[in-house]
Amino acid sequence: MIHGAGTTAGDLPDTLRVRTAGPVAVLTLARAAKRNALNDSTVLGIERFFQTLGPAVRVVVIDADGDHFCAGLDLAEMTERDTLSGVAHSQMWHRVFDVVENGTVPVIAVLKGAVVGGGLELASAAHIRVAETSTFYALPEGQRGIFVGGGASVRVPKLIGVSRMTDMMLTGRRYGAEDGAAVGLSQYVVPEGAGLETALELADKVAGVAPQTTFAVLQALPRIAEANPRDGFLMESLMAAIAQGTDDAKGRMRDFLDGRAAKVTR
């Protein structure tokens, strides 16, 4: 059950579960018997969850039941689609994962076991990934005679580059937790079973970030990083001025100058 947010458990399919702890909502993929494979109702449930988050929620953590984060697209639902309905299905995933990535709150994914195919597409729409040591990443689409359709060709190269994704698709290469972190698939590697606790600790920190800074990081930073430098520098200046002009920022800077705010520590 979700508290302080708009979504109720009744709005969600039974393959998803939600609980809140203060400003943090935890969305759990709850289909362990099928390794959390994403059927359409689960994907649409993820969209509904994000679209109806209440204002009290400042951070979302996505975790999963069982030993695997997500086995990707539910292959049982991959019936013969004609070309246009195949495009529409892929675009539905794009729409949903866009809401995850470009919504109002930072998203932290807790990874373990299989993070494959559409599972990696969901994980790469999150802003921070915490991988338990059992995590492995793969794009088995290459071996199934299909292509990624849930945004991987846009998001995964941003994390690891086109050449590594090409290798994953063509050779079936898998990355483990440690080598995955080394190439950029996760920012953290933690011991088995420690993923959620770590994510909640990170979420506490994220929830304490000023709204104008969160907005800048989620909305401005990705655009600036993709802009030509000339436009990027201007966008950065505008965003910096907007953020520093807020009463919140002025208060935080005054707190530091008056010795009330934490110093940066080694």
User: Smaller CB distance to ligand 1HE: residue 134 or 198?
Assistant: 134
Of 7, 30, 60, 74, the one binding ligand 1HE (CB under 6 A) is 74
Site string for ligand 1HE, 121-140 (x = CB under 6 A): -------------------x
DSSP secondary structure string for all residues of 111-146: E-SEEETHHHHHHHHSSEEEEETT-EEE-THHHHT-
Catalytic pick among 47, 77, 101, 141:
141
Per CB under 6 A, 63 contacts ligand 1HE: no
Under the binding rule (CB under 6 A), the answer on residue 37 touching ligand 1HE is: yes
User: Which residues does 1 contact at the CB level (< 8 Å), separation at least 6?
Assistant: 8, 9, 18, 19
Q: Which helix (H) or strand (E) holds 93?
A: helix 83-101
Element (H, E) at 177: helix 177-183
Would you say 138 and 246 are in contact if contact means Cβ atoms under 8 Å apart?
no
Asked about 201 being catalytic, the answer comes back as: no
Give the pairing of strands 128-132 and 107-111: parallel
116 binds ligand 1HE (CB under 6 A): yes
Question: By CB under 6 A, is residue 71 in contact with ligand 1HE?
Answer: yes
Which residue of 3, 17, 19, 34 would you call a contact of ligand 1HE, by CB under 6 A? 34
Nearer to ligand 1HE, 60 or 123 (CB): 123
- Restricted to residues 142-171, the positions that interact with ligand 1HE (CB under 6 A) are 144, 148-150
CB 154, min distance to ligand 1HE, A: 13
Phi, psi of 62, rounded to the nearest 5 degrees? -110, 120
How many residues of this chain interact with ligand 1HE, rule: CB under 6 A?
22
Can you tell me which of 2, 60, 62, 114 binds ligand 1HE, judged by CB under 6 A? 114
Q: Considering only CA atoms, which of 107, 5, 90 is closest in space to residue 48?
A: 5
Query: Nearest CA to 25 among 107, 100, 119, 99?
Result: 107
Whether 192 is catalytic is no
Does 75 participate in binding ligand 1HE (rule CB under 6 A)? yes
State the minimum distance, in angstroms, from the CB of residue 68 to ligand 1HE.
5
Neighbouring residues of 131: CB distance < 8 A, sequence distance ≥ 6: 111, 112, 115, 177, 180, 181, 185, 186, 188, 189, 190, 195
Separation of alpha carbons 99 and 43, rounded Å: 11
- Give the catalytic positions in this structure: 121, 141
Chain residues binding ligand 1HE by CB under 6 A are: 34-35, 37, 68, 71-76, 90, 93, 114, 116-118, 140-141, 144, 148-150
